[in-house]
Structure 1
Amino acid sequence: NNIRHLRQFLKGWAKHVNVIYKVEKDKLLHLINELDLKAESTFLDADDRASKMEVEQRLRELLREE
């Protein structure tokens, strides 16, 4: 009985964590796309380039965690 409850809890927890990863990944991809579009029309300043690098790094970490 306890194992069944633990299994149900872990299943729900895994779904919750997957949703959190998906939402964060979508936000990061959206930000990268915005910066890419900005880079196509104008040059990115140092702050934008740095933020793009940080976002890409975070996305790589997130994909590694998944």
Structure 2
Amino acid sequence: MSDVRGPDPSSSGSAGPGPSWPLDEFTSGNTDVDAVLSRLAVLTDTPVSEQPELYSEISDSLLAELNQGR
């Protein structure tokens, strides 16, 4: 039976402790949105207990950008 959570990153054959994240640079074409999304880069260095707050702040910022209608 396979694991529904996906493959174990430690079994991927990579030399490091796990996969690098994010794997790809993403740009939305909107510099303000990209500035908000760049805050995701600190996610892997953020304690799990603080991640919900970070996600909430990023979500609120993205909604504010959406409401500005640019």
TM-score range, shorter chain: 0.3 to 0.5
- TM (normalized to structure 1)? 0.40
Q: Greater Rg, structure 1 or structure 2?
A: 1
The structure carrying a bigger helix percent of its residues is 1
Higher relative contact order (CA 8 A, sep 6+): 1
- TM (normalized to structure 2)? 0.39
